Structure 1
Amino acid sequence: MPESSTRPEHNACAWCGRDIVESERGRRRKYCKRSCRQRAYEQRTLTEGTAIPADALILSPEELTSLGDRLFALRCAVEDLDTALAEGADRAELIELSRDLVVQAKEAERLR
């Protein structure tokens, strides 16, 4: 059944997590760029014939540390917003903290 909306959909790249803006025609894209598609292919071929599942995400120690840092920054942004709400912060400050929270959440989603 065709979609009633002609507005492009957003989804995330299966490799790096960046937003992909879908066009109105054709099949849904899985990767944001050719290099992401290539990296995913390389990972699939490296894990072929091993006990590692094909859809496993393999992170280097540096990437794991970076992910941990981004999750910590996200937690701090949530705590800042929670504290501001408890202290009765004004609307402008809450809006700023909320926007920062969204930015930190988007960064935390990024896997590469």
Structure 2
Amino acid sequence: MTLVTGRDTRASTCLWCGRPVPEIGTGRRRRYCRQSCRQRAYEQRSSARRAGLPEDSVVLTAGEVEALADRAFRARCAAEDVATAVAEGAAADELTALCAELLDLARDAERLR
């Protein structure tokens, strides 16, 4: 039997760094995993407001954009490895390992910082 509370029980991720946000007690759901992430997000919003950028803007440094592109490239390469292994009739244990690696890389690729 499942207890329905009306509250979404999915694990949420930090809006700044993408790490999991621990659920603590009742009340409003936390948006950041740590106070430092909350502070960085505030600083970015304030900076964007002063620069006249829209509030939903995301400002990344050139290094952050490059790192994001690198993570996406690694995820694509891992997906190609899985596709090649399937086409070549790889064993289930090899496919399991390749899929686990792909999942890790995809999780890493989805974070902005």
SS of alignment partner, residue 71 of structure 2: helix
In 2: Cα distance, 1:87 partner to 1:95 partner: 15
TM-score normalised by L of structure 1: 0.89
Partner of 1:62: 63
Superposition deviation, residue 23 in structure 1: 3.1
Superposition deviation, residue 57 in structure 1: 1.2
Query: Which consecutive unaligned segments of at least 5 residues does structure 1 have?
Result: none
In 1: Cα distance, 2:107 partner to 2:68 partner: 12
Out of 48-57 and 31-40, give the one that drifted further. 48-57
* Alignment partner of 1:87 is 2:85: no
Cα gap change, 1:6 to 1:58, in 2 (>3 Å) = closer
Q: CA RMSD in A?
A: 2.1
Superposition deviation, residue 36 in structure 1: 0.5
Structure 1 stretches of 4+ with a deviation exceeding 6 A read none
Amino acid across the alignment from 1:42: E
Query: Which consecutive unaligned segments of at least 5 residues does structure 2 have?
Result: none
